[in-house]
Amino acid sequence: MAQKRSFLNLLKSSDVPVLVDFYADWCAPCRTLSPVVKEVASSMHGKIKVIKVDVDKNQQAAHKYGIRSIPTLILFYKGKLVWKKAGLMRRKDLLSAMESAIKNIV
């Protein structure tokens, strides 16, 4: 239960948008997307925070946010879902989506 509160607290209390990467260790597309997410977060210089959620270990969170396929990325701001995308994305497409989403919420 403490993990759940920490996850929700992070989503609500972060001063920057939080990009959540829902994944599983056995998922090949998830392993492909992981370095892309890291590169985008790094190139945004602190404008977003990234956390990874293993859907096998956190089934409640996956269910709560309607994760039907992985990888799925969800951007939250002040606890509210502001952007969601399932499947692989190219670096430039993810970067563009994050920059656009941030412009609309900040």
User: Would residue 22 show up in a list of annotated catalytic residues for this protein?
Assistant: no
Determine which one of 18, 19, 20, 27 is catalytic. Answer: 27
User: Would residue 4 show up in a list of annotated catalytic residues for this protein?
Assistant: no
Residue 98: count other Cβ atoms within 10 Å of its Cβ: 22
> Residue 38 to residues 41, 48, 95: CA-CA distances in angstroms?
5, 11, 11
Considering all CA atoms of the chain, what is the largest pairwise distance in Å, rounded to the nearest integer? 37
Determine which one of 11, 19, 20, 30 is catalytic. Answer: 30
Q: What is the DSSP string of 21-52?
A: EEE-TT-HHHHHHHHHHHHHHHHTTTSSEEEE
Contact 71, 87 (CB under 8 A): yes
Enzyme catalytic residues: 27, 30
